[in-house]
Structure 1
Amino acid sequence: MSDELATDITLTGAVAVGVGTMIGAGVFVLPSLVVAEIGPVLVAAFLLAGLVALLNGLVVSELGTAMPAAGGSHHWVTRTLGPLFGTVAGVADWLGLTVATAFYALGFGVYLDVVVELPAIAFGVVSLSPTQFGAVLAGLGFVALNYVGARVTGWTEIALVGFVVTVLVVLAAEGVRTGRLGDVAGAFGGDAVLTATALVFVSYLGYAKVAALGEELVNPSKTLPRAVLGSIVVVTLLYTVLMLVVDGVVDYDALADEAAILAAAEALFGTVGVAVFALVGLAAMATSANVSVAASSRVAFGMGRMGLVAGWFDNVHPRFSTPYRALQVTGALVVVLVAVGDLLTLAVLASALHLVGYTLLAASLVVVRQVPDYEPDFRVPAYPLVALAAAGASVALVFAMGLDVVAVTVAIGVGAIGWYLLYGRHYATEEGLLPKYLGQRAEELPPLAASAVKAARPETVGHRTLVALSNPRTEADLMALGCAIAAAEDGEVLAVHIVTLPDQVPLARGPTYLDRVDEDPRALLDTASEDSILDVPVETRVIYSHQAVEEVFATARRADADSVVMGWRGRPTFISGRAASVADELAHDLPCDTLVLKDEGFDPSRIVIPTVGTDNDALCAGVARVLQETFNTTVTLLHVVDGEGKRRGGERFLEDWADTHDLDAETIVDTSGDVERAIAEAAADHTMLLISATERGLLSRLVRRTLVYDVVEEVDCTVLLAERPGTRSLRERLIG
């Protein structure tokens, strides 16, 4: 998966991500705007905005631990409320991050103009002020850095965030030490506190980025909520004290166009303070803008992967392994917004769009809480009051921004719904809990409601078979089997080439690594598309991972596959140098029907099925019917009993079993009681052995060298192993 990081992020690193994303243009440029437009209510505005962020952070923390593989709010909303609302959340998230990037870039331009004198630029009818010119350069620079994959991560990011926070703490501490603080009681006065809160909420955007890190976190069940909530608390406390200091040392009447934080620095530290804080402001806004550019493009990229927007967005650069198409669109929008917008407009629009997403997340939490066996590692306290308060506060802030902002936000939402109905509904890969629940009860709904539910549900294919490819020698046979199974269900094939990278190679560098070793991961998939039979539609995908079988099953869950077809290359294929307990765990949590082909020349003309009547044997019968219809296969059933006196009972069992599964088959009853020998002898007279797991999971039986493993290794014909998943709860289906 080319959009994932390959590092384990600790609590310190996760808090750095949250704090670093939040501390940006908000605190460095908004105080002056708030005072000029509304009045000196900074302390109340920043504190109340922090409380709203904390309410939403609790919701984000639960959803993030419940669905740790998530890529953002649109992913969570899609899996719960369905792809229609997921499209609204995704568009709001994407545009909100893009607008926030423009806001950060414009703030960067303000501070860059303090450090160096910038010129005004005119391009025909378009003219840019010095601040706008600096913002355009910054925006293009951040997009370019993300385009080539140069991102600030790890200890570098922690150090940079630590530097910014330290300098701000020094300013706050000096104000407290000298007693130059504003009037706390007066700070909460005025009638426009809610409007000011809505304006400064943009200063808290970014904590959801921590939740989107998902499985990259060390011990996410504990790290994620601590990092999300901890970063909000740290930033809220820092903002509140800073605003008290600003209120105490800044003369707002004489402020003019100067940034309030620079005026405070000058009052406490002189001209040196101005220079230092100008550089700190540049660093803080550069960090926020860079993270927002990356997050914005990856939201568009993720929506493309889920079929909610054109697949053009999920193209990965062949050299830099970045979502370059999404970055191109994001960069163009940032430049336009910087050229036509101002800090105040960009701030309220970014806040409004994010608040729409947070409202939908609260609704998602209400839906998922209705699942009986839903057991996340972190639960929102005082549910449902906190969820309702989060949604209510988010909606209230949107309306506090004014009817013009509400109108723009509603127009974007309506546009997103229209896009889904015209495009996304035909390509969405997720149905969601709520649409599935309502769809199953359509007859109980009023006619108008039933029609609306039907219109909103995605037009998904009837059956999706995932074919995992790695070996050119077996590719054609695996595709033939996968296409036959999909065609029988009027479905499609998802052919994936999972490229297993060394642990030391980051996932995002997969394409670059393969370029160095002269491997083309697409070549195998191009051949697979050509080898498709029976007019089955084929979707192809390259996925980079440090795991093998684990990634096959994880991809099957994400794609909501109904069956998996994969190759067998012996014991190392399944355990990949990892502990056998990993394979054992996987075996008891298969995502769907799983078929493993040990290919000795794919010839399904004569197959034999050993059966004792298990559910897995029923899967073998279904596969056999497909092979009969597709390849005119002759099927033989084998049943082993202990002693000649049990022959007649065995024959009746096979007759009844064949009738039950509507299978035209010959029968063999072996009375030796030696199951392994009987299977080996029958396999010698057939071209394929179709065998199932029995009392233990298939993979664990293979690892432990039990009967199935020995048979697979010893017979000369092609072997197809089949296993059905155990009973999976709704929670398991939800979180994958």
Structure 2
Amino acid sequence: MKKLERSLSLTSVIAISIGGMLGSGIFVLPGLAAAKTGSSVWVAYLIAAICILPAALSKSELATAMPSSGGTYVYIERAFGPLFGTIAGFGLWLSLLFKSAFALVGFGAYLSILINIDPGLTKYIAVLFLVLILFLNILGVKKVGKVQVFIVSISLTALGLILLFGLPRTSSELLDPFLLKGKMGLFSTVAFVYISYAGVTKVAAIAGEIKNPGTNLPRAMILSLFIMTIIYVSVAFALVGNLPLNELKSDIKPIYTISKLLGGNVIGYTAALIGVITLISMANSGVLAASRFPFAMAIDKLLPDFMAKIHSKYLTPVVTIIMTCFLMAMVILFLDVEKIAKLASAFMVMMFILVNACVIVLRETSAQWYKPPYRSPFYPFVQLFGIFSGIALLVFLGIGPMLAILGIFILGFIIYFFFGKNATRTGILRKYGHRPALYLLYKKKRDAKITYRNNQSVSLQNLDGKLASNAGVVVPLLGNERSPEMLVEIAAAINKREKIQVVNVTEVPNQTFLDAMVEENPRIASLERRVTRLATSQNIDVDFEAAVTHEISDTIHELSNQTHCDWLVMGWNGRAHSGILVSNPIGWLLTHINSDFALFKDDGVRYIGKVLLALRPGRRDKNFIAVADRICSFYNASLTLLHVVSEKTDKEAIENMEENSKKLLQKVERQSMVVIQKDDDPINAISKASASFDLLILGTPQKDNWVDILFGTGKDKYTEKSACSVLRLTMRDN
């Protein structure tokens, strides 16, 4: 398959991003916005830019992780599953549809200046040109898009001249009142102008064509947002400083009005012509982008198949183009301009809330394939700010847009109910979410797929039969282990049977075909060689396999089931918790697998001579000691059983604890001892003690606070503070 050429430079991407923002947000919206807040409208544009910054940073991260996946719809579907993918697809479709309709309303107003149209007919003229746009999109006229850079350049030049001549003429009298309707009016205006910046993230959809997307994509988004913020704020200030508020508040062609004031009729007509060209270009590109969302959803089996129909001659999605233009015509004819702007902003705010949530879900679940070259700074605070500020903006937009969003959710549920059974993907949240997140009508779990090196795709319910059914321990290798050999060695130390099953598991996004990833590669060949050499040198019976999967947790779960193993042993980075809403794969496995579970955090120790077992008293000590004894026998190491008790613990209780512990250690074959330490800070006590040992063995800790419980972001503090390698054991009741 021919791949897209990465030919777009940073400058080109900035131009495209600016082109996505330059249009109705400045040519139509400022007057209507000024009516809501007064001369502080420029502040509203500034705050709106700050509120949209988290979405730009989040989308930069998502786009560099999936540089050719196609934008917001796929990100939301991948994180939340096909249900939210359906809702997101409709939301994105409608946000662009309303924004383009808004541009055409403004286009009609500017056109009426040039050809003297009755103001009452401007809507019908807009619809007439919409029909022209319809045919341009069906015919696939590419030359229209090639003049976009020229149009952007002309528009920026015109706005620059307005600032050059308008700012010096600003009147302080016209700047009063600053807050026409108080702070509430200002914040509602922020929500109203939010749509002006929506185009900043459009370039994510062409990430596959950008040179060095990991660097250039986030830079382009941030720089274009910065440039457009300056333009919006400065032009809005020039408008309210030169035009009386009574005139401006009902003016949907303010760039013409101020141009005529500053330069006379000829300059005014020139500005009107630029407005016509800019807005018709914006509407055309909006139809082009909007029509692709229902088309993509139909391809993903979330909408009827006929909506995925492509014109046999022009190779364009003719059905969705016609649907998009028809709905735009209805919006233009039957909604007033302010309602169109509000609905466009509301749908885009909803989408950007989900974009910020996507980053949280993908990071917290630690999906193996999610490795973005660019990571949003100040995570998760930036994303949380974006989510909560977005919710606040939706409230300020009023009841109408909120009801419209509710309607989109209901429609998405209905469409998903009828067509979701045909969806071919599941989301990350579907896999790793807990009950509050899962009560979202997600589908019942279907068989995931795993592909082995022999190119045979098989159901997870029936693996290829090459796995060792008598393996005592299964070791999944995920590619992030510090030393795979050390992990296999730890597994051998725990093992009570003869054989160990090692499986290198590679998780890829659902958009990637498994068959394309199963070819032998040098890294897996090298890993197999190293594991085989370890098995020979240590006289360990090891079977090695390599697999590719879409669902890593399902695969590991099924590996333990198919082998009927006693233990599942995995490498670990110290993340401990499974939140109420999301969990990482480790957290999901802890609650789903049937075998005992060991997590090994490798601190680089290569010779284990002293083992420290730290347990809370009475926590199935006998079983933990048995495992520790096997490890000590394997490494010829000594064992120390540590109990940390409160400073208030009396002497008699300590003596009883010591006596009971020594009885438990009687069957230990290696040298062993009991240490009981008084300390009200057990984390600090164990951390200090671990400095004298090579391996610390712990049980599964309890959760610490509400942040950990909600998001599962907590570290295992005992592990984090340990000065040696850590083995954390989760043992099932027998």
In the alignment, which residue of structure 2 is the partner of 1:518? Answer: none
Separation of aligned partners in 1, 2:267 and 2:310: 44
2:127 to 126, 136, 146: 136
User: Do the aligned partners of residues 375 and 184 (structure 1) sit closer, same or farther apart at CA in structure 2, a change above 3 Å counting?
Assistant: farther
The CA deviation at 1:117 is: 2.9
> CA distance change for structure 1 residues 293 and 465 in 2, over 3 Å: closer, same or farther?
farther
- In the alignment, is residue 347 of structure 1 matched against residue 341 of structure 2? yes
1:393 aligns with 2:380: no
Q: Give the Cα–Cα distance (whole angstroms) in 1 for the partners of residues 200 and 265 of structure 2.
A: 34
Structure 1 pair 587–150 and aligned structure 2 pair: CA distance change class (3 A): farther
TM-aligned CA distance change 1:117 to 1:66, over 3 Å: same
Q: Is the 8 A contact 2:524 2:546 kept in 1?
A: no
1:15 to 2:26 alignment: no
> Residues 40 and 461 of structure 1: is their aligned pair in 2 closer, same or farther, counting only changes over 3 Å?
same
- Matches of 1:618 and 1:23 in 2, distance apart? 48
Match of 2:87 in 1: 88
Partner of 1:169: 160
Match of 2:291, SS state, is helix
Cross-structure match for 1:436: 431
Q: Is the 8 A contact 1:54 1:233 kept in 2?
A: no
Q: CA contact under 8 A between 1:421 and 1:456: conserved in structure 2? A: no
2:204 aligned partner = 211
One-letter code aligned to 1:225: P
Could you tell me how far 1:105 is from its partner in structure 2?
1.2
Decide whether the 8 Å contact of 1:300 with 1:313 is kept in 2: yes
2:561 alignment partner in structure 1: none
- TM-score, length-normalised on structure 2? 0.60
SS in 2 for 1:361: helix
CA deviations 1:668-702 (Å, max 9, x no partner) are: xxxxxxxxxxxxxxxxxxxxxxxxxxxxxxxxxxx
| Structure 1 alignment gaps of length 5 or more | 121-128, 439-444, 467-480, 492-555, 567-582, 591-612, 620-736
User: 422, 425, 429: which is aligned to 1:427?
Assistant: 422
Summarize the alignment of residues 106-505 of structure 1 with structure 2, pairs less than 5 Å apart: 106-118=105-117, 129-151=120-142, 156-178=147-169, 187=178, 190-191=182-183, 192-255=185-248, 257=251, 259-372=253-366, 374-424=370-420, 426-438=421-433, 452=439, 455-457=441-443, 460=446, 463=449
Structure 2 CA distance, aligned partners of 1:404 and 1:487? 47
User: Using the alignment, how far apart are the partners of 2:205 and 2:360 within structure 1?
Assistant: 20
Does structure 1 conserve the Cα–Cα contact (< 8 Å) formed by 2:192 and 2:345? yes
Provide closer, same or farther for how the CA distance between residues 320 and 82 of structure 1 changes in structure 2, counting only shifts above 3 A. Answer: same
Share of identical aligned residues, percent?
29
Instruction: Tell me the C-alpha RMSD between the 2 structures.
Output: 3.6
In structure 2, relative to structure 1, the CA distance for the partners of 1:618 and 1:92 (3 Å cut) is: closer
What letter matches 2:278 in structure 1?
A
Contact 2:350 2:390 in 1 (8 A): yes
**Match of 2:428, as an amino acid?**
L
**Distance in 2 between residues matched to 1:243 and 1:65, nearest whole Å:** 34
> 2:103 aligns to what?
104
Equivalent residue letter for 2:208: E
Distance 1:303 1:53 in 2: 26
| Counterparts in 2 of 1:57 and 1:378: CA distance versus 1, 3 Å | same
CA distance in 1, matches of 2:301, 2:523: 30
- Please list, as runs of the form range in 1=range in 2, the aligned pairs for 1:571-610 lying within 5 A after superposition: none
User: Which range moved further: 180-189 or 413-422?
Assistant: 180-189
Q: Structure 1 CA distance, aligned partners of 2:285 and 2:445? A: 35
Structure 1 residues 218 and 564: CA distance shift in structure 2, 3 A: closer
Secondary structure, counterpart of 1:64 in structure 2 = helix
The Cα of 1:152 is off from its aligned counterpart by 5.2
**Kept in 1: contact 2:67–2:208 (CA 8 A):** yes
Paired residues of 2:36 and 2:186 also in contact (CA < 8 A): no
Deviation at 1:589, TM superposition (A): 9.0
Match of 2:633 in 1: none
* TM-score of the superposed pair, with normalisation by structure 1: 0.60
Q: Within 1, Cα distance between the matches of 2:438 and 2:352?
A: 28
- Once the two structures are TM-superposed, the CA of residue 277 in structure 1 deviates from its matched residue by 0.9
Contact 1:146 1:322 in 2 (8 A): yes
Q: Provide the rounded CA distance (Å) in 2 between the counterparts of 1:57 and 1:414.
A: 28
Deviation digits for residues 543-600 of structure 1, max 9, x if unmatched? xxxxxxxxxxxxx96545454699xxxxxxxxxxxxxxxx99x77699xxxxxxxxxx
1:320-362 alpha-carbon deviations (Å, 9 max, x no partner): 2222221111111111111111210110001101111111111
Aligned length in residues: 485
Show CA shifts across 1:263-299 (max 9, x none).
Answer: 2111211112211110111122122212211111111
Structure 1 276/589 Cα, relative in aligned 2: closer, same or farther at 3 Å? Answer: farther
Structure 1 range deviating more: 305-314 or 274-283: 305-314
Local SS of the residue matching 1:8: coil
Deviation, 1:404, is 2.0
Give me the whole-angstrom Cα distance separating, in 1, the residues matched to 2:179 and 2:298.
Answer: 45
Name the residue aligned to 2:66.
Answer: 67
Checking the alignment, whether the CA contact within 8 Å between 1:181 and 1:247 is kept in structure 2 is no
Residue 364 of structure 1: how far off its partner (Å): 0.8
> Distance between the aligned counterparts of 2:193 and 2:162, measured in 1?
20
Structure 2 residue matching 1:41: 3-state secondary structure: helix
Q: CA deviation at 1:119?
A: 6.1
Displacement of 1:457 in angstroms is 2.9
How far has the Cα of 1:225 moved from its partner? 0.6
Cα distance in structure 2, aligned partners of 1:339 and 1:58: 37
Structure 1 residues 399, 463: CA separation in 2 closer, same or farther (over 3 Å shift)? same
Aligned 8 A contact 2:86 2:416 in 1 = yes
Letter in 1 for 2:406: V
Bigger shift: residues 47-56 or 258-267: 258-267
Q: Are the counterparts in 2 of residues 96 and 350 from structure 1 also a CA contact under 8 Å?
A: yes
Q: Measure the CA separation in 2 of the matches of 1:565 and 1:342.
A: 52
- Whichever residue aligns with residue 266 of structure 1, its letter is K
Whether the 8 Å CA contact 1:76–1:364 is kept in 2: the answer is: yes
Give the drift of 1:234: 0.8
Deviation of residue 307 (structure 1)?
2.1
The aligned amino acid for 2:378 is A
Q: Determine the C-alpha separation between the residues in 1 that align with 2:334 and 2:255.
A: 25
Written as runs of structure 1 = structure 2, the 5 A alignment for 1:670-709 is none
Question: What displacement does 1:31 show?
Answer: 2.0
Measure, in 2, the Cα distance between the counterparts of 1:227 and 1:274. Answer: 32
**Alpha carbons 2:38, 2:177 under 8 Å: kept:** no
- Conserved? CA contact 2:295–2:307, under 8 Å: yes
- Shift in alpha-carbon separation, 1:218–1:187, aligned structure 2, 3 A: farther
The Cα shift of 1:37 comes to 4.8
> Distance between the aligned counterparts of 1:146 and 1:163, measured in 2?
24
Where 1:227 maps in the other structure, the secondary structure is helix
